[in-house]
Amino acid sequence: MKKLVVLTGAGISAESGIKTFRDVDGLWEGHNVMDVASPEGWHRNKELVLDFYNQRRTAALNAKPNAAHYGLAYLEQFYEVTIITQNVDDLHERAGSSSVVHLHGSLFEKRSEQNEHNIEPIFEDMKVGALASDGALYRPNIVWFGEEVPEMNTAIKLVQKAEILIIVGTSMQVYPAASLVQFVSPSVKIFFIDPKPAVNSTERIKVYAEKATTGIAKAIEFIKNIK
């Protein structure tokens, strides 16, 4: 089966009611992003940070996958599909996608603040002072501003092997995730789905200037017939 790689961002989950990561005014759900999404913010006010992610986790648990999530899972009937997502929710998995790489971490994982590899699942609220097995405090397993992206090398290798690429729900303006398109083979067909696409259709790039749910539906009809 051909290898199909999908890059997804906040736009695909927005249709499930999950708000995008950052508004144009630099706020995330009313908070300055640096207060809730940076190591400095964590050290200043752990209770605020944990409360913030507890709320985000609850919102994600209450959300449901939409047609775009289900459509990508459906493509596994025709291709070897891997999803590389900037999202921290689990809607791809709940829709049935079997191979998902979370570039920016997950709301449903906690880790030692001293060891990024000491990770445990979490579905309830996190409490201030909870300790990991190494004796360090647990923190959300979210990649914050100023931190390395642990899964970046994995994502690069997947994109390099891609035979078809879908980009949906992301403007591809946030780095390092945006740099992934640089590693795609020149022969790979790219499908770009965004209400306000930053690129134009070419012989190689097919653009669907619409939201994720309708764009994915149209792209699937085209993609599933590629031999």
Q: Among the options 69, 92, 102, 104, which is catalytic? A: 104
Q: Is residue 5 within 8 Å of 102, Cβ to Cβ?
A: no
With CA atoms as reference, report the closest residue to 110 among 40, 57, 151: 57
Q: Is 117 a catalytic residue?
A: no
Dihedral, CA atoms, 54, 23, 147, 63, nearest 10 degrees? 40
Residues taking part in catalysis = 104
